[in-house]
Structures are given as structure tokens and as C-alpha cells.
Amino acid sequence: MTTDCTTTASNVTETRVALVTGGTRGIGEAIAVELARQGVTVAVAYANDTEAADRLMKKADDVGWSMTAHRADIARPEACEQLFADVLDAHGRVDHLVNNAGITVDRTVRKMTWDDWQRVIDTNLSGAFYLSKAAMDHMVGRGSGRIVNISSVIGETGNIGQANYAASKAGLFGLTKSMALETARKGVTVNCVAPGFIETGMVAAVPDEVLAGIVGRIPVQRLGAVEEVAHAVLFLLDDRASYVTGAVIPVNGGLDM
């Protein structure tokens, strides 16, 4: 069961705690599940799809993962502050923040409305800023923490009909590196993972003929799996990745070569 605030599958407070935005579906769910399998307590945030959140919480209950689901619109700064406070209330600490939630509203620039532009920037870029800002005092205060931002290959290449999305994802590169520099001497690392085309609901919305053209341009000749992105994120969250900060790790089947 999920509520607008917090639902607990099982409470464990002495383990690492991760907050994964957009953690109830797609890439975010794979990250949350991999972390839970490693014994990390995971707080997943989502926007509207309570069915997906309920499904994941039921699975967590069945399997015995420590997981809570939090409904919050990360495009709003106050909601991000509240979300972070709720997760601290529920679990007492946050070791890992994964800014994964993202949306697309695709139109060429000439057809794109101001609202199309703003919604995507607010969710994909500002949401990562608001939550990282909320997390930073806590992490710097504790002298440790890991932040991973999920960008996109589109942030590197741009794309027709995705000026808002590309700008938001390119913005994450600058945000990541600036935050990494600001926290480098404080035990906090900030990195970025830039997936290519991964099999999720987001890509399912792409028409078949367009998708076939995209796959044809990918050197490994297939879409990526969510677990392949999750693996890169887990590497960056690992204690042993302590010398990696300000990095952008591509997971794109060679698409940007």
C-alpha cells in the first residue's frame, strides 16, 4: 500500500539508505531493486502512478526488502524539501541520492510552448538541483554521501523535437561537475550516468519505425536493459568508487562514438 506520504514495507535503520527519484518504474525501479537486493534501505519517489508504487511495495513486502514509497512532485522546491525531510524521518539518514526522475514533452522548437519547455526543465534539471541542495547539508554534515544524476546521451548530441529534454540533460552535466567540485573535500561524490536508448515506458512511446532507425545507429545493435544502467549507478554508489567524482559514465551501446 502507498500513501501520499510514506509507506513502509519493513523498517531497517542501521543500514545504508538511498533515495531514488522515479524509483517505481523503468530505470529507477531497477536501481531501487538492485540496491534493496544489496541490503540497502531504499526510499523511492514517484509523481502520480500509485499503481506502480503499490506493485513495487508489495514486491518489497513479499521479498523482505526495506523500502518506502513517497509521492512528491520533484518539479517543486518545497515538495523536494518535504520529501527529503520525510525520508530522514522514516530512515534517519540518507547515504545515496539518485536523481533519476525525468519526463519528455517532445515538439520541435517552433511548436514547443513555454509550458512544454518549463515542465521538462523543472522536472529533469531543477528537481535534481532542489533535492541535491536538500541532501547536501546532511551529507556534508556527516562527511559522506553519494549523488548520482541520470542524464542522457541526448544531453550530449541534442535531438530533433527534444530541445527542452536535451537542454535539461546537458544542464545535469554542469550541475554534476559544479556540485562535485563544491563537495570534493567533504567526503561527498557527485557523478552522472548518461544512458542511451533503454527499454522502458519512455522509449515505448517512440514509434516503431523511428525506433528501428535508432537501433540501426547503435553499434551494439540493440536497446539497453534497465539493469545495465542500474549496474553503472551501483558502481558509483559503492564505497570503493570514492575516487570517482564529477564523472559522466555513458551507458549507450557505443551510440556516442
Q: Give the binding site for ligand NDP (CB under 6 A).
A: 21-22, 24-28, 45-49, 52, 72-75, 100-103, 123, 150, 152, 195, 197-198, 200-203
Cβ proximity to ligand NDP: between 91 and 169 the closer is 169
Radius of gyration of the chain from Cα atoms? 17
Nearer to ligand NDP, 46 or 84 (CB): 46
Cβ–Cβ < 8 Å for 219, 144: no
Smallest gap from residue 37 Cβ to ligand NDP (A) = 18
Give the start-end residues of each E strand in the chain.
7-8, 17-21, 41-46, 67-71, 96-99, 145-150, 188-195, 248-251
How far apart CA 23 and CA 19 sit, in angstroms, is 8
147's enclosing H/E stretch is: strand 145-150
Q: Which three cell numbers stand for residue 131?
A: 533535492
Cβ at position 38, least distance to ligand NDP in Å = 20
Query: How buried is 128 (Cβ within 10 angstroms: 0-12 exposed, 13-18 middle, 19+ buried)?
Result: buried
CB of 249 vs ligand NDP, minimal distance in Å: 12
165 is catalytic: yes
Which contiguous run of DSSP H or E holds residue 194?
Answer: strand 188-195
Helix (H) or strand (E) holding 47: none
Of 12 and 203, nearer to ligand NDP (C-beta) is: 203
Q: How far is the CB of 140 from ligand NDP (least distance, A)?
A: 24
Least distance between ligand NDP and beta carbon 243 (Å)? 25
**Bridge partners for 205 per DSSP:** none
Tell which residue, 146, 247, 241, 235, has the closest CA to residue 194: 247
Among 257, 255, 256, which residue's Cα sits nearest to residue 223? Answer: 255
Active-site residues, by number, are: 165
